[in-house]
Structure 1
Amino acid sequence: MPRRDLPPPPPPAHLLARLDRDTVRADRARFLRELGRRSLGIGGLLLLWAVSAVFALGWSFVGMGWLAFETHDGLSLALGYLCATLGAGVLVPAGFWFAWLARRDRQVRGLLRAWAGVYRDAAADARLRAPWRSLTWLLASLAMAAAGLGLSFWIAASARPGSETYGEVGYLVGLGMILWITGLLGAAKAAAHFRWAVRAFPRAG
């Protein structure tokens, strides 16, 4: 997400004092809602899963190459090199995509913290917690992490010499690890956002 698509940062203190307070508060409420949606909206969760799916696709090519190398014949070796090249061609852009998402998340978090400190209003800010967003991210991410970890352990524990090759085990364990790491990232983001929202937007007392 280019920075120009994000809400602007709050005005500097010396300019803020000259602006109409009600106008600034209206902008603040609108920007915080937008930033909260961008930070923990359903679209963001689907985007994280899309990056995970691209990593899984790249790893699938690598896995096919690994399996081809284990046959040790000329045609399979050529196919293995082709699959490994395709895998690298998918994994490298996926890494750049993930880095771009991480940089965007840092920008969104910075803007959230900056706007949250402007003209606090406990009664209005309590509604900005949106705990259901954090809960949605947390439950979906924990389910994915559990599925990935379960797959990895089940494949590793059930593998028997002669019935599964190293390539098959490595490929399936790798897929499980991709799911596990994706789930952990989503759960950590949801928990961190909720802890921050509770401190930044206290309930009116």
Structure 2
Amino acid sequence: MPRPDLPPLPPPAHLRAWLDEAVVRADRARFLSDLSRRSLGMGRLLLLWAVAAVFVLGWSFVGMAWTAFEQRDFFSYVYGLIFAVLGAGVLIPAGFWFARGARRDRQVRQLLHAWAESYRDPVADARLRAPGLSLTWLLASFALGVFGLWVAFAAAASARPDRTTYGEIAYTMGIGQILWITGLLGLAKAAAHYRWAVRAFRP
């Protein structure tokens, strides 16, 4: 079932025949516009990056804990334990936050499909293709993913046995992986929206 703050499901076909066509068309246009904004708006892109930033923060604590443990003295172990607890305290809520957002995105996508198939309105549907937003998601996510790959590979390539610790390599490569995965998620979302728009709003 949709969340209370999301639009309802469209009425069944046998009930739509009894409703005013203008009302159905207006509701469909309003709900699709709201759902499209929730799915592909710039706020969603910034929220995805905010979640990635929280993961980077949590992984930074993990990296500091790993580096402290490598010092192999009492106080370093204490600091490492503190950093490990801080890292877990950031990463675990961030994981729940990410899972909650993924579940909400799935509900929004299901509602988008249902309302798009409930009626045909070529004039209103043309605006919902949102090619500009899809391109923004595509380019921004591609750039972030490329940067993340560069960070990860540069960390591995620049490591030196006598100067670079395992904690430093894990810290930098972990951040690169987080950025790379975030870029992949954005690319997948842009591609999914493009496929949906082509299929749902075809002439």
Q: TM-score range, shorter-chain basis? A: over 0.9
Letter paired with 1:141: S
Letter paired with 1:30: R
Q: C-alpha offsets along residues 67-121 of structure 1, whole Å, 9 cap, x if unaligned? A: 0000000000011011101101110000000000000000000000000011212
| Mapped contact 1:126–1:202 kept (Cα < 8 A) | no
- Aligned ranges 1:32-111 → 2 under 5 Å: 32-111=32-111
Q: TM-score, normalised by structure 2?
A: 0.96
Letter paired with 1:84: A
Partner of 2:14: 14
Deviation, structure 1 residue 195: 1.0
| Mapped contact 1:35–1:112 kept (Cα < 8 A) | yes
Give ranges in structure 1 of 5+ residues lacking alignment.
none
CA distance in 2, matches of 1:124, 1:169: 51
Deviation, structure 1 residue 7: 1.1
CA distance in 2, matches of 1:5, 1:131: 26
Number of residue pairs matched? 202
Give ranges in structure 2 of 5+ residues lacking alignment.
none
Letter paired with 2:160: R
Q: TM-score, normalised by structure 1?
A: 0.96
CA distance in 1, matches of 2:127, 2:174: 41
Deviation, structure 1 residue 158: 1.1
- Aligned ranges 1:152-171 → 2 under 5 Å: 152-171=152-171
TM-align CA RMSD = 1.1
CA distance in 2, matches of 1:46, 1:123: 29
Letter paired with 2:122: A
Deviation, structure 1 residue 126: 2.1
Give runs of ≥4 in structure 1 deviating > 4 Å. Answer: none
CA distance in 2, matches of 1:149, 1:75: 35
Deviation, structure 1 residue 155: 0.8
| Mapped contact 1:147–1:179 kept (Cα < 8 A) | yes
Deviation, structure 1 residue 14: 2.7
CA distance in 1, matches of 2:77, 2:151: 28
Deviation, structure 1 residue 21: 1.0
CA distance in 2, matches of 1:136, 1:36: 15
Identity of aligned residues (%): 70
Letter paired with 2:144: M
Partner of 2:118: 118
Q: Provide the secondary structure at the position in 2 that maps to 1:72.
A: coil
CA distance in 2, matches of 1:72, 1:50: 34
CA distance in 2, matches of 1:113, 1:99: 21
CA distance in 2, matches of 1:124, 1:79: 59
Partner of 1:149: 149
Letter paired with 2:10: P
